[in-house]
Chains A and B, each alone.
Chain A
Amino acid sequence: MAATAAAIAMDVLGHGLAVPDATRLRGEPGRPPAQVDKAFDRWRETLPASIGRLRQVLYDDEDRRAESLAFLDTVITAVSAKIDAESAGTGSTEPDDAPTATERAWRDERIRFYYELLALRAEFDPEARGGPAFDTAEGLESFLAGIESN
């Protein structure tokens, strides 16, 4: 079971980190656009299944769950850092350097992946359950008014 968890975790890691990012695509002018689009489509199509497999392993493998969740935390941090790096690499305002539609779509898919992982992590976090509930605007607004930055 542990091997399965590790394999799927690596698969998920690969989805978030090993696929070519926008800046790398930019540095491969010889790479045919159709090949880039095909890789992107494959990544997008297989992502839900990968997340689903990882979720199932986390539910099934209770003995190694804490270890797997700690690894998941490192993946989330790494994916977030990759998004930041990619944004910096495509943040130029020069017309020639403006990100292409494929690059923007690729970055958005990575962001979706990041949120899929945050949701998955929350599913196993007891702190992400419970708390005060509000069904009136006045109640919610009053509670929020009492929350300040740390």
Chain B
Amino acid sequence: MAEVRLTPKFIKALQKLGHKQMDRAKKSLLQFQANPRHPSLHFEKLSGSPYCTIRVDMNHRIVVRDEGDDRYEMVDIGNHDYVDRSYG
């Protein structure tokens, strides 16, 4: 079980989502806490930094900072998702 920290910036971004999107984001967070590399999250590492993104739905991804030792900070939510890239 990973440690998940919700930053003030992330919580504000979460509150700006509509009800359905927020529910999906909450499900993604719980899934991420149980297994950060679960295939449904389409985990993607960003280049040259401790950041990665995970999928919420076809229009949103959560930006995550990997703090090491299975600890993660949720820092933001973006309003785009990939069309057909492979993840890794």
Q: Which residues of A contact B (CB under 8 A)?
A: 47-48, 51-52, 55, 80, 83, 99, 104-105, 107-108, 111-112, 114-116, 118-123, 125, 127-137, 140-141, 143-144, 147-150
Task: Find out whether the CB atom of A108 lies under 8 angstroms from the CB atom of B84.
Answer: yes
Task: Find out whether the CB atom of A144 lies under 8 angstroms from the CB atom of B83.
Answer: no
Chain A's nearest CB lies how many Å from the CB of B7?
4
Task: Find out whether the CB atom of B4 lies under 8 angstroms from the CB atom of A147.
Answer: no
**Chain A, residue nearest B79 (CB):** A80
A129 to B74, CA, bound (A): 9
Taking a contact as CB atoms closer than 8 A, the residue among B19, B26, B30, B76 that contacts A122 in the complex is B76
Chain A's nearest CB lies how many Å from the CB of B46?
5
A131 to B73, CA, bound (A): 9
A123 to B53, CA, bound (A): 14
Check if B48 is an interface residue, CB within 8 A of chain A. yes
Q: Which residues of B contact A (CB under 8 A)?
A: 1-12, 14-19, 22, 26, 29-30, 33-34, 44, 46-49, 51, 53, 61, 63, 65, 71, 73, 75-76, 78-85
Determine the chain B residues whose CB is within 8 A of the CB of A47 once the complex forms: 47
Determine the chain A residues whose CB is within 8 A of the CB of B78 once the complex forms: 80, 114-115, 118
A106 to B76, CA, bound (A): 24
- Return 9 A-B CB contacts under 8 Å, by A number: A99-B83, A107-B83, A111-B82, A121-B76, A137-B33, A140-B29, A140-B30, A141-B30, A150-B15
Interface centre among A122, A127, A130, A133 (most CB of B within 10 A): A122
Determine the chain A residues whose CB is within 8 A of the CB of B48 once the complex forms: 48, 51-52, 55
Task: Find out whether the CB atom of B30 lies under 8 angstroms from the CB atom of A137.
Answer: yes
Determine the chain A residues whose CB is within 8 A of the CB of B3 once the complex forms: 133-135
**Chain B, residue nearest A133 (CB):** B5
A80 to B1, CA, bound (A): 34
Taking a contact as CB atoms closer than 8 A, the residue among A104, A115, A132, A140 that contacts B33 in the complex is A140
Chain A's nearest CB lies how many Å from the CB of B64?
9
